[in-house]
Chain A
Amino acid sequence: MKTLVFLEHHEGELLKPSLGVLSKAASLGGEVAGVMAGSDVEGLAAQAGAYGAGTVYVADDPRLDAPLPQPRVDVLAQVVQAGGFDNVFLAQSILGADIAAGLAARLDAGVNWQLTDVRADGDGITGTQPVLADTVVCEVGWTSTPRIALFRAGALDASETGGQATVEPVQPELQDFSLAAEMLEQAHEESSGPSIEDADIIVAGGRGLGGPEGFAPLEELAKALGGAVAATRAVVDAGWYPYSAQVGQTGKTVAPKLYIGCGISGAIQHKVGMQSSNVIVAINKDPNAPIFEFADLAVVGDVNEIVPKLTELVRARKGA
């Protein structure tokens, strides 16, 4: 079985979810290769060897500088066809999902998304796909090859095994329509404070805080717990908190040991960014808030009263 893993990178770093997918692919056995597309990315490619890629195909071309999906469909189709890959795995991101679906149509291949796991099954593979807001877990398969799989960010851990990858250059043949979209301004990180992706504890705020001033008590609580502060898209859109703290489908995917959601209803776009958290505590005055359906501890009450009390108690306990 031959598996190709798309390695997404941003500002000179391979992204963790891609490395998690690579580690999972390596654990299935068989031949595992990575594929990267970008400009001046060859140095990064070699790093993938440590996570289980025997070969990394690299399309290094200035036309691939902007992280747009369609030219990457061209590159992946080219590598899949030349290498005879049975599986194509991608971490599910905005870019990864767009590449996967484009590739599926190009190769007439099946694509399963939101997978949290995959296992070898006879000659093939079977994926684990939670559906209907994680109330049902499907086992999903593919009826032809290549099998394209998108894995939920945060679902798979990256583990270094210390191997070496051979870097194999690819001369990309890009279609006209793939190059028609043009990136005029590209997003880049404007980070301030500790990165929420690396935090063990996250205190997150949503619209229920009532206003930007509602974040100050959250920062106090995060400080007391030794964690970082995150926010929902709604409040980032409203200008209450910076974009770098946004968790959700657009924004960061986090999987901390403890996630405390304050005044967050639990809309699906937010949920996909934090559902892999180990312990979820939700504070909301609405007893029917959807977040309570997947919280480990549901706290029904006013965040603006509970959070300062909680900070006080945490401080007292830690000081003791």
Chain B
Amino acid sequence: MKIAVCVKQVPDTSSKRMNPATKRLDRSGEGALNPFDANAVEEALRLKEAGDDSEVVLVTMGPPSAGDAMRKALAMGADRAVLVSDDAAAGSDALATSRVLAAVLERESPDLVLFGQYAGDSEGAVLWAAVAERLRRPMVSQVAELTVENGAVRGRRQTEFGYDVIRAPLPAVIAVSDAINEPRYPSLKGIMGAKKKPQEVLSVGDLGVDGGQVGESGSATSVLALNDPPPRGESRRVEGDDAAGQVVEYLAEKRLL
């Protein structure tokens, strides 16, 4: 079985900021593998370890430095990586990004595509549905338990109302919840070995995608302005022996008692 895992490099948590000039996320600082994608990588590795000789391929789009995030996932045990890196693709929204990922996935033609549940930077949780639509494949999101048998995936997933169990024939697109597993730490051997694993870097042209279909020109949304959030009111901090008493005073002040 061939498993593709779509991953993303996100800015390091401590340094996330917007660039006021481009109104985009500043991606110049240290980057890291989106933590939610580590769950998808882990699940792919578990499927590989449980079954026949599967291959786990990482797919990402981002600046050339996104190779660092891939290296971590390769060190966890993924077999190889495909990075689409192209200046023309900078500033792509979810619509444009889904075009690029779908083009890579068409080329790779995996049996199973995995996504993490959430992008830690854009706070997006939608890309898999757009990619599944482009690939015309069944899709299940928020999967907290995944099994593959008889050419189908079976996912137990969490919704607002409890647990669904959904079956979908392969090839399929699955977004996993971070409740699905505890991602492993790369071993020293894994880290050393990652450097030798194949990492392919492609331009959008290599994928046969027109430059006008990606980046800002290929996007259908835009950020018009960046504002400060409305003040939430004075945030107060209390501690010490009389903390409970101060909470009651506060609630009384807010007329909540």
Contacts and interface: CB of A to CB of B under 8 A. Distances in A.
B239 A301 contact: yes
A294 B162 contact: no
Contacts of A318: 257
B69 interface: no
Contact of B95 (A10, A109, A134): A109
Contacts of A104: 94-95, 98, 126, 130, 220
A94 B95 contact: no
Nearest to A258: B256
B247 A201 contact: no
Contact of B98 (A93, A97, A105): A105
Contacts of B49: none
A135 interface: yes
B235 interface: yes
Nearest to B224: A139
B130 A105 contact: yes
Given A143-B221, A279-B256, A300 B237 contact: yes
B21 interface: no
- Chain A interface category by residue count: 35 or more
A140 B223 contact: yes
B130 to A, nearest CB: 4
B245 interface: yes
B137 A177 contact: yes
A69 B138 CA distance: 10
Nearest to B248: A313
Interface stretch (A35-43, A81-89, A155-163, A184-192): A184-192
A310 interface: yes
A275 B167 CA distance: 33
Interface in B78-132: 93-95, 98, 117-118, 120, 122-132
A250 interface: yes
A113 B141 CA distance: 17
B234 to A, nearest CB: 8
Contact of A98 (B18, B139, B239, B257): B139
A296 B137 contact: no
Interface in B131-155: 131-134, 136-142, 154
B171 to A, nearest CB: 10
A208 interface: no
A201 B256 contact: yes
A185 B179 CA distance: 19
Contacts of B134: 105
A266 to B, nearest CB: 13
Nearest to A311: B244
Interface of B: 16-18, 23, 93-95, 98, 117-118, 120, 122-134, 136-142, 154, 158-169, 172, 177-179, 219-230, 232-233, 235-240, 243-248, 250-252, 254, 256-257
